[in-house]
Amino acid sequence: MTFTILGHCPKTDQVGIGITSVTIAAGGTCPFYSYGGDIVVVQAYGNQVPAVAGAKAADEGLSKKEILARMAQADPSFEFRQVGVMRRTGEAFAVTGDRARPWAGHVVGEGFVAMGNVLTGPEVVQDMAKAFQADASIPLAERLIQALEAGRDAGGQRAGEALHYDERSCMIRTIGDGPARRHVTALDLRVDMHSRAVDEMRSFYEIYKPIIARRALRAKNPADDAATWKWEKDNLTDNPPPPALKS
């Protein structure tokens, strides 16, 4: 009941994940991250135990085969799971267990994984892959959101022959904030409970985009940072968030 895109951008040296599901707060229960910036996702009856095992194996520098073996060893129900891994280097791989609920599958290409389970069909992950690859010049976060939007528009999650699951949670995360901060999270946005979570994520992201650079600057040089209310007044007038100040 979940579809996910993992991506790598060689231009900005970032990796990232976009995930949406009928499951509330799926962004907090399916992915896990290594200290080195690798992303390990276990969905379809999501279980972070094998995800943690995979992240530890990635930090040890183990191979794809060894990472998956560690994950399977940690999870006696591994055949129910769907796994996607994006290494900090851009190496990507995925496994869809034989007992993952249909339709379940994945597409792996250069620098990306598109995968999902309990979907209307393979067109969901195929369209996600096409959307992610369409324009490598735009920011990685934008490409992740576009891939989720494409999966939703292709049919998304099904609930039986004639019923459809809403996308009730959505998460976007990118890792990499310049050469000295390759393992630092650059963006982490979540919509944990909303009947149209992908749409809500799009709205959230459009407001938040100018803040991405501001957060990086204030982390590097906090002495020069303006008060939040003043910075937002000067920079977010075209698409403002809720007011920062209350009387």
Residue 181, pLDDT above cutoff 90: no
HSE toward the beta carbon, residue 21, CA cutoff 13 A:
28
- For residue 38, pLDDT beyond 80: yes
* Domain carrying residue 54: 2-219
The per-residue pLDDT of the chain, averaged, comes to: 94
pLDDT of residue 219: 82
Position 122 in a domain: yes
Residue 231 lies in a domain: no
Specify if 244 maps to a domain.
no
- pLDDT (0 to 100) of residue 125: 98
Q: Count up the domains in the chain and report the number.
A: 1
* pLDDT given for residue 159 in this prediction: 80
pLDDT beyond 80 at 183: yes
3-state secondary structure of 247: coil
Q: Mean pLDDT, to the nearest integer, of 112-136?
A: 97
Inside any domain, residue 21: yes
Q: Assess if residue 224 is contained within a domain.
A: no
Looking at residue 178, its pLDDT comes to 79
Q: Hunting for tokens 């599958």 — which residue is that?
A: 105
Q: Within a domain: residue 230?
A: no
CATH (domain of 173)? 3.60.20.10
pLDDT, mean of residues 134-144: 97
Q: Is residue 43 part of a domain?
A: yes
